[in-house]
Amino acid sequence: MATVRLSFSPAPVHVRTARLVGVAVARRAGVREDLLDEVRLAIGEACTRAVALHRQYGLADPVLVEMSDGGSYAVRVVDRAPIEAGIGLTALPPDELANESLTDEALTTGVGFALLAGFVEDLQVRPVDEGIGTEVRMVWPVGR
Amino acid sequence: MATVRLSFSPAPVHVRTARLVGVAVARRAGVREDLLDEVRLAIGEACTRAVALHRQYGLADPVLVEMSDGGSYAVRVVDRAPIEAGIGLTALPPDELANESLTDEALTTGVGFALLAGFVEDLQVRPVDEGIGTEVRMVWPVGR
Amino acid sequence: MELSLATRTVGEHTVLEVGGEVDVYTAPRLRERLLELIDGGARHVVVDLGRVDFLDSTGLGVLVGALKRLRTAGGSFALVCDKEPLLKIFRITALDQVFPLHPTVDAAVGADPTGANA
Amino acid sequence: MELSLATRTVGEHTVLEVGGEVDVYTAPRLRERLLELIDGGARHVVVDLGRVDFLDSTGLGVLVGALKRLRTAGGSFALVCDKEPLLKIFRITALDQVFPLHPTVDAAVGADPTGANA
Ligand SMILES: Nc1ncnc2c1ncn2[C@@H]1O[C@H](COP(=O)(O)OP(=O)(O)O)[C@@H](O)[C@H]1O
Ligand SMILES: Nc1ncnc2c1ncn2[C@@H]1O[C@H](COP(=O)(O)OP(=O)(O)O)[C@@H](O)[C@H]1O
């Protein structure tokens, strides 16, 4: 099983790097071409969320993306933010989406989670095993 | 100063990932477009060398590529092979290049080092600070 | 890849053509441009996503922000989008129930009662 | 991006057109093809690098291997290359003094005395 790890300072520009790497490694791992748009979007959303949390909590720690192919293509995106912030995301119902009282941040977070949940069949969001933080774990099948 | 780290199982396919990331981060760091071919080639050569060493010594440890932009674009490629193997590479003179007694591996290593030395003005090859291994350090200017 | 933004006027409507990637890195520039337009007096805004290659939650958040602002100002806001992958993003987030979505700029301009009456 | 390999015959010469990236990942396939050609009896080989986007030390190593093998077999080996970035790679490694380098396939075939006399 080959593993590629990418870690980056929590800046928006590096989310692009993460998408680029995530899709390149997915392609090489044998993920079907028609799934790559989803992979790109999902890795982007998970990293965008992690970068936003690090900025919100003033954390300079890097965000980690770990990609491994052992029968399937598994991607973990790990942040280091306090756990209450990370877990318990919920998708928003349509009538709340354009509600004036909803902040832009809350909206973007809700929409980001809806995209993750909607595009990734095999998705887990859970506390990291060691230390502080949350990991978003996504798995895609490989091969035809 | 933003840092991006990529580590990968020592397999040839991931050298391609490293080139892709190294050039994407260089572009975002502001390295001039006309230097990007050199950046691509140099990162590729440094990683190819690291992967070859890990394979030669049967090491499953990942190869590390660290990119940082703080006034310039600095890339470190770190292997974990015993030091005698890493240091002391020398470029080969032309009359030795096609010599029958030179093994293919030695030739490729010599040519790889010639490319590194020829394309990277600011190049250092030195033992890692901690533990076993060698780091190839390359620096390019950023901005116009 | 990079964000591109171009504005033109169609009757009462201001059409903003967006191209490239609208993500956490470039969405602030889209937000800025939309605010400039609205602060400059644009009340009927159509955002043409026809040449967008990538749109993420941050970009969607910016579009919702513009919608709210124009609604408050008594204006209108619509999107032009005909690519299936993009439409799927609107469906999955239920934002297809929030934005007027049209396949062409003409359809967006024609469908807007305020614009049609102007 | 991916390696492409196509073989054709020009008189006594076997021309191998290479395209894409020749690197540590794809060089083994180039080596294999060259061995097949030489084992199959090709003695005057021209490798056309015209559509190569990337060439690294592993690829260069494979080309030197083919040169040596053909020399031992009493054959000839030449490269076609007219792109400055690629030529620079040959200069920096001093391999421009090892390989016959030609700007076109015609020039490579014409310059090879064995081929010209055949
Ligand atoms: N997250 C996304 N946001 C916006 N556009 C996207 C996204 N993912 C893919 N696309 C775009 O969708 C288009 C894909 O078109 P295509 O591959 O023809 O899909 P389909 O076959 O479903 O029509 C491309 O323009 C691509 O850039
Ligand atoms: N390491 C390399 N090996 C082979 N070809 C390369 C390498 N680096 C760049 N190239 C190729 O060189 C060409 C670049 O051409 P161009 O940008 O026009 O350079 P120049 O302006 O020096 O002619 C492209 O085809 C590119 O893919």
pLDDT in tens, B52-63: 999 999 999 999
pLDDT at D80: 98
Q: Is the pLDDT of residue D41 over 80?
A: yes
Q: How far is the CA of C55 from the centre of ligand 1 (A)?
A: 10
pLDDT at D116: 46
Q: What is the CATH number of the domain that holds B58?
A: 3.30.565.10
C66 CA: distance to closest CA in chain A (Å): 10
Beta strands in chain A (DSSP E): 2-8, 63-69, 72-78, 122-127, 134-141
Measured between alpha carbons, how far is residue C61 from residues C38, C56, C58, C82 in Å? 17, 9, 5, 20
CA distance A144 to B16: 23
Q: Can chain A be said to touch chain B, i.e. do they have 3 or more Cβ pairs within 8 angstroms?
A: yes
Q: Is the pLDDT of residue B8 over 60?
A: yes
Averaged confidence pLDDT in chain C: 93
CA distance B44 to D63: 18
Q: How far is the CA of C86 from the centre of ligand 1 (A)?
A: 6
Q: C-alpha angle B102/B106/B111, rounded to 5°?
A: 105
pLDDT in tens, A43-94: 999 999 999 999 999 999 999 999 999 899 999 999 999 876 554 455 667 7
**Closest approach atom of ligand 1 to CA C53:** 27
The DSSP secondary structure of C5-54, one letter per residue, reads: EEEEEETTEEEEEEEEEESTTTHHHHHHHHHHHHHTT--EEEEEEEEEEE
Question: Measured between CB atoms, which of C57, C85, C97 is closest to A108?
Answer: C57
CA distance A8 to A18: 9
Q: Please state whether beta strands C76-80 and C44-55 pair in parallel, antiparallel, or not at all (unpaired).
A: parallel
pLDDT band at A95 (very low <50, low <70, confident <90, very high): confident
- Which carries the bigger pLDDT value, residue B143 or residue D56? D56
Structural domains counted in chain B? 1
CA distance A104 to B87: 54
Provide the greatest CA pair distance for chain D. 38
CA distance A63 to A112: 17
Structure tokens at C26: 């470039």
Phi, psi of B106, rounded to the nearest 5 degrees: -65, -40
pLDDT band at D81 (very low <50, low <70, confident <90, very high): very high
Contact D67 B13 (CB under 8 A): no
pLDDT in tens, A120-137: 999 999 999 999 999 999
Ligand with an atom nearest the CA of residue C22: 1
CA distance B5 to B21: 10
CA distance C82 to C50: 7
First and final CA of chain B: distance in angstroms? 19
pLDDT in tens, D63-72: 999 999 999 9
Structure tokens at B19: 């080139």
pLDDT band at B1 (very low <50, low <70, confident <90, very high): low
Q: To the nearest 5 percent, what fractions of chain C are helix, strand and coil?
A: 45, 30, 25
Return the exposure string of B48-69: e unless at least 16 CB atoms fall within 10 Å of the residue's CB, then b. bbbbbbbeeeebebbbbbbbbb
Structure tokens at C56: 């993420």
> Is this complex's ipTM strictly greater than 0.90?
no
- Determine the structural domain holding residue B96 and report its residue range: 2-141
CA distance C37 to D38: 68
Q: How far is the CA of C116 from the centre of ligand 2 (A)?
A: 54
Please give the average per-residue pLDDT across B9-25, as a whole number. Answer: 96
Contact A97 C68 (CB under 8 A): no
Averaged confidence pLDDT in chain A: 90
Please give the average per-residue pLDDT across C45-73, as a whole number. Answer: 96
Provide the greatest CA pair distance for chain B. 49
CA distance B51 to B60: 10
pLDDT band at A138 (very low <50, low <70, confident <90, very high): very high
Nearest CA in chain B to A23: B17
Measured between alpha carbons, how far is residue B101 from residues B56, B106, B107, B112, D99 in Å? 20, 10, 10, 18, 18
Q: Is the pLDDT of residue D40 over 60?
A: yes
CA distance A96 to A111: 11
Cβ-based interface (< 8 Å): residues of C facing A: 21, 23-25, 54, 56-58, 60-61, 64-65, 67-68, 71-72, 85, 89, 92-95, 97-98
CB D67 within 8 A of CB D98: yes
- Residue bearing tokens 């193997």: B85
Q: Per mean pLDDT, which range of A47-61, D5-19, D102-116 is the poorest?
A: D102-116
Q: Is the pLDDT of residue C97 over 70?
A: yes
Contact D68 B100 (CB under 8 A): yes
pLDDT band at B100 (very low <50, low <70, confident <90, very high): confident
Nearest CA in chain B to A13: B28
pLDDT at B91: 61
Q: How far is the CA of B34 from the centre of ligand 2 (A)?
A: 10
Please give the average per-residue pLDDT across A100-111, as a whole number. Answer: 84
pLDDT at A104: 80
Phi and psi based region of residue B10 (left: phi greater than 0; alpha: psi -120 to 50; beta: remaining) = beta
pLDDT in tens, B66-96: 999 989 999 999 999 987 655 445 566 777 7
